[in-house]
Amino acid sequence: MLLASIIIHAAQPIRQERSAASIYHLLQGKRSAQTLQDAHMYGLTHLFGIYPKLSRQIFDQVAANALQEEDQDNKKNMPYFNGMAYQSQTEPFLYRLLLLVQLLSNQTKGENRYIPVTDNLAIQHWIKQLYRQEQHHLEDWRNGVYEELYGLLEKLPQIQAELFVDRLTGYHHIGLTTLQLAEKYHVHETDVLLYQTSTIHHLLQQAESNAAAFPYLAALMDKPQHKIRSITSTAQKTRTMLERGMSVEQIALVRGLTENTIKDHIVEITWLDGEALTSKFISDTDAAVILECAMQAGTNKLKQIHALLEGKYDYFQIRLALALRKEQEVKA
């Protein structure tokens, strides 16, 4: 089962340091400072938000079994994911594509009466705009989308291509529901959705990195300026205030939050943006000491590091140092 493999894959770096729930929040894409931090700290950003609709119940069931049989299953090939980059545009892209295929397939047969595959008004509006602009080039679009999909799906494992194409609705042919796909291909319903997400991430990645080769799919993506930064908006506020030179105490007072919450924000910002703001709170030498200690002990557990350094540094400083390490690794 793919979900089980993914959970095991995520559990390895996290090891015993964080609870199973943290993996759940990661897959679900919870936009909290803690989850974003986990994603960065343990090198799991690609799995962030790949399954927004995952139910806690199913996760708990699968995780309980998966983590027991950890050794057996972890050599499986992991499908491509890039959650941190694409999670916010996975769904819009998918539904634009589904609706576009439905439109092109019907339109070429002269059929104007069909019920759109999605109720989402924003998606319908988007495709309508596209139609207005491109209505004299639909032939090109039909061929272009076909060629691009064909080429890109061919690079994927067959199961992903099958699941994806069987979901498409067109002229006198209606796509299958998740449940129907699961039954037809003998995979779990959750895996149908995960494979689909992987397929979409693959299409997005190719279209984004090589827009010249895949112009039609690239046109269905959000423009870069619409991309949502993966920092939470509350942390963004804290950052703005820090940049204005306010102290942690002042910010907490003005925003009516606790100082610890503000510190969470600072750690979150550090994960994403590195040392820009941290020099106020921890010196390079101190950070180096903490990182050295963490490396030697082979742990990311705050409590353990805190004890090893005999309480010389507080938890906030340790978290900052760990966040900085990530930054340094990326640079290196």
Partner 1 sequence: MNADLQKALHKFYGYDHFRTGQEEILQSVLENHHTLGVLPTGTGKSICYQLPAFMRSGLVIVVSPLLSLMEDQVKQLRARGFKRVAALNSFLDYEDKQQVMRNLQNYDLLYVSPEMLQNDFLINRLQSLHIQLFVVDEAHCISQWGQEFRTDYLRLSEVIQNLDCPPVLALTGTATPQVQVDIQHLLGDLDMDKHIYPMDRENISYFIREVQDQQEKNETMLALLRKIQAPTIIYFSSRNMAESTAGIIRANMPEMPCAYYHGGMENEDRILIQQQFLAGQLQIICCTSAFGMGVDKEDVRLIIHYHLPSDKESFIQEVGRAGRDGEESVSVVLYSPGDWQIPIHLIEQDLPEQDSIQQLLRFLYQRVKAGLLELPSYELLIQHIPISETQWRFLLYQMEKHDIVKGNHLHYKANAWKEFLDQIEKFVGNRKRHKLKQLQRMKEWVYTDSCRRQALFADFQSEVRPAKGRCCDNCGDTLADWQAGLTNAQPERTGWREQLYHLLQQ
Which residues in this chain contact partner 1 in the complex, by CB under 8 A?
Answer: 101, 104-105, 108, 112-119, 121, 142-143, 145-146, 149-150, 153, 158, 161-162, 164-166, 168-180, 183
Closer to partner 1 at the Cβ: 196 or 317? 196
Cβ at position 72, least distance to partner 1 in Å? 30
Closer to partner 1 at the Cβ: 80 or 114? 114
Closer to partner 1 at the Cβ: 90 or 169? 169
Cβ at position 288, least distance to partner 1 in Å? 52
Q: What are phi and psi of 170, to 5 degrees?
A: -150, -155
Cβ at position 137, least distance to partner 1 in Å? 15
Closer to partner 1 at the Cβ: 15 or 172? 172
Cβ at position 173, least distance to partner 1 in Å? 6
Closer to partner 1 at the Cβ: 192 or 269? 192
Cβ at position 313, least distance to partner 1 in Å? 47
Cβ at position 250, least distance to partner 1 in Å? 37
Closer to partner 1 at the Cβ: 26 or 153? 153
